[in-house]
Amino acid sequence: PAAAEGPALEAQTESTQALADSDVPPPKPEKRLEDMNDSELLDTIRRSLETNRVDLYLQPVVSLPQRKTLYYEGLSRLRTNKGELIMPRDYMRVAEPAGMMPTVDNILLFRCIQVVRKLAQRNSKAGVFCNISAFSLLDEDFFPQFIDYMQHNTDLAQHLIFEFSQMTVNGAGPVERASLEALAELGFRFSMDQVTNLRFDAATLHDRNFRFIKVSAATMLEGTHTAG
């Protein structure tokens, strides 16, 4: 009967759809970070960036003994699909060779600028340290756009301090030095962190607009013992 054709056809369509769906393998569950190899970790990092799972944490830097907040250290963390945090020491190891650090830095920079704008609205004079990798200084796509943006937002120089590791500073070639000079000419200050060797020329760093040097207590004590 004609009346039965509709439901029968509908049931047949559902059956066909179910069969087609069964041919599609379900997505593999995401592994825990500790169980991933480098290739899997890189894919996870790429998905985190594509889905904007990048968080900015602010660590206060206070004066003593008043404990007044003078600065904030901007710390980036990526999140997996399950919400597990990927620390910089883990993602930088595989993201740098893959050329993904400019993307991370771009997102972190945008978040830091948002924080600086909010601090300015509260009449806060606190500055924000924002880390930039050597790969971003060399990136021909990222850095010119970065400089162009900063040229139109030089007011940020009062509160935004760009931070580089001692390894990046010591290993800077002509391109990286030119990039730093371009930022310094706009009034931006720099910070050197991850210091492992106290034998650096403070006067030369000052001439290059480095105004902050971060040294751990352990490195300071080790340097004192060595000097003694």
Write down the pTM of the prediction: 0.80
Strand partners, 55: 77
Q: For the chain, give the percent of residues with pLDDT over 70.
A: 85
Q: What is the pLDDT of residue 45?
A: 93
Q: How far does Cα 197 stand from its chain's mean position?
A: 24
29-38, 72-81, 210-219: range with lowest mean pLDDT: 29-38
Instruction: Tell me the pLDDT tens digit for each residue of 166-187.
Output: 999 999 999 999 999 999 999 9
Domains in the chain: how many in total?
1
Q: Which of 47, 48, 42, 34 is nearest to 77 (CA)?
A: 48
Domain span holding position 138: 2-227
Q: What is the pLDDT of residue 152?
A: 94
CATH code of residue 177: 3.20.20.450
Q: Which of 64, 76, 129 is nearest to 105 (CA)?
A: 76
Rounded to whole angstroms, the Cα distance separating 49 from 78 reads 8
Instruction: Tell me the pLDDT tens digit for each residue of 68-109.
Output: 999 999 999 999 988 999 999 889 999 999 999 999 999 999
Q: What is the pLDDT of residue 147?
A: 93
**Two tokens at 138?**
């060399």
Instruction: Tell me the pLDDT tens digit for each residue of 125-159.
Output: 899 999 999 889 989 889 999 999 999 999 999 99
